[in-house]
Amino acid sequence: MKFIVSPVTSASVTVDWKTNEINSWLLIYMWVSKDDLDSWKKKADKFIDKIWKIKIIHNLETDKIESSLESTNWEILLISNFTLYGRNKKWSSIDFCHSAPFKEAQKIYDYITEKLREKYNVKTWEFGWMMTIKSENTGPLNYIFEY
């Protein structure tokens, strides 16, 4: 399971002229490897617990990364991104043979969405759709979590 987490001042996802947006805070891209399928719940719960507690938010006044989601009331935009498990072996094309099958990955994505919504305002879009994603990152700060 792989996640890219970016603190943002704004982010939006658009599909067919319909938009979901947040005015601040975390944009999370996630995907599931086929190797995650037998232990996905343990890995998902580990990520969810870590994302609550890890100091990830930059304080502009002190110029330090010192706040966690636990201490704020932030919004999250969660986007599925199967290309996180893309592999480029021949330099001319990318294959996605390490990505989990669509239905299994969607089940895990839905689980993570539900768990995050227990504490935060989480916005998503249709799983697996082609999307237009816009964001204004802070920092630049990007965190990669892999389980």
Burial letters 27-62, b for 16+ CB under 10 A, else e? bbbbbbbeebeeebeebbeebeebbeeeebbeeeee
- Can you state the percent helix, strand and coil of the chain, rounding each to 5? 25, 40, 35
What's the pTM?
A: 0.83
Distances (CA, A) of 124 to 18, 52, 59, 99, 129: 12, 18, 26, 20, 11
Q: For a pLDDT cut of 70, what percent of the chain falls above it?
A: 90
The more confident residue out of 77 and 87 is: 77
Q: Which domains does the chain have, with CATH numbers?
A: 2-146 (3.50.80.10)
CA-CA distance, 52 to 120, in Å (whole number)? Answer: 10
What are the structure tokens assigned to 1, written together?
Answer: 């399971």
Please report the pLDDT score of residue 125 as a whole number: 76
Using the predicted structure, report yes or no on whether residue 23 has a pLDDT greater than 80: no
Residue 131: what pLDDT? Answer: 81
pLDDT at 53 > cutoff 70: yes
Distance, in Å, from the CA atom of 66 to the CA atom of 85, rounded to the nearest integer, reads 30
Mean pLDDT, range 51-66, rounded to an integer: 81
Confidence of residue 24 (pLDDT cuts 50, 70, 90): low
Q: Convert the pLDDT of each residue in 30-42 to its tens digit.
A: 988 889 999 999 9
**pLDDT higher than 70, residue 11:** yes
